[in-house]
Amino acid sequence: MEHNHMGFFDGIIYNLKGLKWALKSLKLLALGLIRFCAVFLLSLICAGLIIAYHGEIMGLLWSRPESVWLTLVWHVLSWVVSLFLLGMSVILSYVVSQILFSVIIMDIMSRVIENLATGKVDHPVQASLFKQFIYLVTQEIPRTLFPVLCIVVLVMCGWLTPLGPLLTVLSPLAAVIFLAWDNTDLVPARRLIPFKHRFRLLLKSLPFHLGFGLWFLIPVLNLLFLSFAPVGATLYALDLHNKKVKGSMQS
């Protein structure tokens, strides 16, 4: 039987292929920009609230001391806390955006490219649009929260164990794999495949997802590729499905 899964370099190529498709379609271009703006605006709002209430937040954690030396420590700690909260605000904005905005936008982008590539959009006949929407949102919660928890655990282990240097390398690689999966999972989720089966597909195709997500590590370009990643991911899912169909017919 033909091997259905693709490798590391296939992932790199599919993400680039998706960007080329997106830039040729005004609708896909607009949807990608909307997705980018949703995350950016949420992050900006959260960051603004943290800066505006910076003093109040520190007051809850540690009242400003009267000692000059302790005051210096207080100022340093206050900005460390602020930087930590800013980082958490980005994560929170990403999670909220994925659940409330991006899952809808990403699914629309996926449907558009599937229609362009095949002339139709396959989805379960018995499922109404409302049921599909609710299913997508509920599936987005574990698909978003699970990767975030994994990354947090890796970072904490890096701080608390001698494995820090190794985990420093593994953490961003794990992050881009999960970000890639957030896009390649769109078509299987729309077809109402159970979460545990879709997670197994991820584990069987880690090299591909690492290659697909490699673009997300490049500063500036990562914003562009993240915004339009659903396009290349959908092309991959469609090609993978076709390979499986051909493989089952030949077996």
The residues spanned by each domain of the chain are 8-250
Crossing angle for the helix pair 26-52 and 103-118, nearest 10 degrees? 170
The structure's pTM equals: 0.70
Contacts of 237 (CB under 8 A, 6+ apart): 184, 186, 187, 188
Q: What is the pLDDT of residues 45-100, one digit of tens each?
A: 877 877 777 667 666 666 776 777 777 877 777 777 777 666 666 656 666 776 66
SS3 letters for 186-208? HHHHHCCCCHHHHHHHHHHCHHH
Contact between 213 and 177 (Cβ < 8 Å): yes
Q: Please, is 149 exposed, middle or buried when counting C-beta atoms within 10 Å of its C-beta (0-12, 13-18, 19+)?
A: exposed
22-31, 35-44, 142-151: range with lowest mean pLDDT: 142-151
> Whole-number mean pLDDT of the chain?
78
Q: What is the pLDDT of residues 11-24, one digit of tens each?
A: 999 999 999 999 88
Contacts of 208 (CB under 8 A, 6+ apart): 5, 6, 7, 8, 10, 11, 14, 180, 236
Q: Rounded to whole angstroms, how far apart are CA atoms 40 and 22?
A: 20
Q: Rounded to whole angstroms, how far apart are CA atoms 94 and 40?
A: 9
Contact between 39 and 94 (Cβ < 8 Å): yes
